[in-house]
A and B are shown apart, each in its own frame.
Chain A
């Protein structure tokens, strides 16, 4: 409790409050730019944290993470282009509402539902993360090795539809994590005698390249697609009747979103899509869905923001990212010299409570900003590509160059931009690669430590119940897509008989 009060005190200093406000506004603004997702926003703004203290960096990143998710829904509603994949379900009903002149009502409900979902999940995070950390405090290197393998196996479900391509991207990320000096033997690996590579690949150029630069190539390759933008002539906000109508959807989706977000690698997009279906299933007005149902905005928006807090539970308590954006935040914390995990709860509890405090404050802030400045944020979506993307490119270059003042990092950024572009063209997602890059070191280190502990006897892994359980879940998780596709091949779905 003392740490909680101290953390809240640290979270609400004028400097941190200013950073939370800046993070929230930047998160909404950049998240609202068409084609820039929450993870791209976080990757693009990550270099700004290099000169900050860990506490300030954590507050800033936490605010960006929360706000960018909300920012993504602005483009979904106004131009039918989700700023973030997690807002895709919002577009189903948000855009039809905007087309019939109710953009303000849709944006207002999105801000309200997002804030409620976000606040609920932060409260769950405050309770659940320390409990999970207490449980994980008993873990040794073998358990962490099994946990990291489990986290990596979950990349099969992240990104694209192809489990084998997701795993291939994840394994490539792990291989990239081996670049640099091997700490146990002192051997330089894949460094090509470039001193800058001795410490391994820097996260920032890779993240900025994979997310921002690849998205730039993607946008210019689809320049012929014309988007119809809705103008906000009059801002009509949701009524009390709207809030009453959506209360059940918001409550249900907040719980669902938090739970789904907490599962490693299952993020806000899955949460929003499942919540959309559940909201429709439990609604009295099913026929309105897809044509501009306000519940169709409330449900997914509450869920995708609730997933933010949920995803922070495994990230902070175990050091296993719960989503792509938390993988980027994890990278940001590692750059700051902070390694999330159960030890963080005993060694740096204040830092954790700053995360909780900043996320709570950010959710309240964008509720205010969402209602007050919806019209201003809406204008962001009208910026033409020819003005927007050169600016994004310059920010990417600055972000890649600034931390180490190295031109090599700018080349690395461009190279990973090209890799990310080809990834998307061939059905890969950059998210598993990032997960592999972030978790790769942990897998190798814990494996080596475990084997030293076991005197190089691999069979010792199977003498530890937690390890065996985690291995079993990992194998089941990996086998599930194969079993289900084999099942579908053997028992193909018979189409229902047509009515005569």
Chain B
């Protein structure tokens, strides 16, 4: 793990890393460990599935996750290349709003996709009936939800790495394809690995998409079994044993893919178009992405637009405000914990400490969200009055769930900061704190903005933690949407969903603006 110029002379990064680790233990390790310890002594009850079916579930869970993550990667990397290599109208819009699919509540995504591709959908009606249900639907849903991870990570990396070697190679006569595979791809590999592992694990714990777009119990993930164990049977001993399988798989993935050392130092320069993809490719990719992402979102907008006249705006405004508060809190919590963690994992010492921090921060992605929330419920079982109605516990849970995503984003960002800058600044007498605040953080502005957007998008569409921890009278927008649907008021629910969409879009837009202003102020 160790590379020259990485370790700081001052103990600051280590101290920051250790204190963030303490916070991490409090919000993640304690609830999960208390659940595990409590469950280990009890034997699990009889499972409501047969052994043969369980083996099938295991195979399907990880098989579909692999295919989904690879396909999302192809689409996401393609989109990132288009974004970084081309200048076209709507380019910035695409970039800023591209996390929208990732942020929307999954039920809305599923209904949106079915509104377009279902057998009575805008486009699906021209296809053979029922074609979508099964593998095509599951893959479509997962690519829709996961390609933004690749687009954002790879796009940010391409925007922050230096492109001189490619220019040199091209001017020396290398073919564009050769140049891409030998130079560019190698430099964005860490981001691709990160996005791959994250999207693989998200798809492996997919629940609603797999059931609803799969169409039947043939398509069942391990998460469905965990849901049964946690919520229906309330057999925590069984749930913990199932979750252990998930943890082992993601532990293996982490060791295989994410434990890589920092990259060598690079000088920075502005990125510029290198691969002049032909207009035909651009058009094809544009049409593909529009069909995949644009149309379902337009579908939701149209559907929502129909009921704008009949909405209760007083309730909606309150719910929107509540969502906003919760989102910002979750974001603040997530970044507040992740930034020192990532910094410690980058500059702390010794090397083993850095590796441990990295492993710890990735761990939440390997544990089912259901298990984390039920861990909190068990831990706080007698303290309901203490937290009901307060936003803080929901924000903490959401922030913890988003932690691996934000951590990976920041860690990759820190690695892109040219390693030579630190020793250079230090030799001129700058303190570690000065280097962090005046050199490293400003260089990470896009990455920080991305981390913010990611944490925010996690929180804005999330309902599980909200349902568990928030009181009855302070519902967030997604919770209100679900309540409306639960009471037959689907058209009102779509109207509220449009509002949520607009809110998310303007937040993402605003954060994009902030990032950009900063770029301009710097240059």
Real binding pair: no
Tell me the A residues contacting B by CB distance below 8 Å.
none
Tell me the B residues contacting A by CB distance below 8 Å.
none
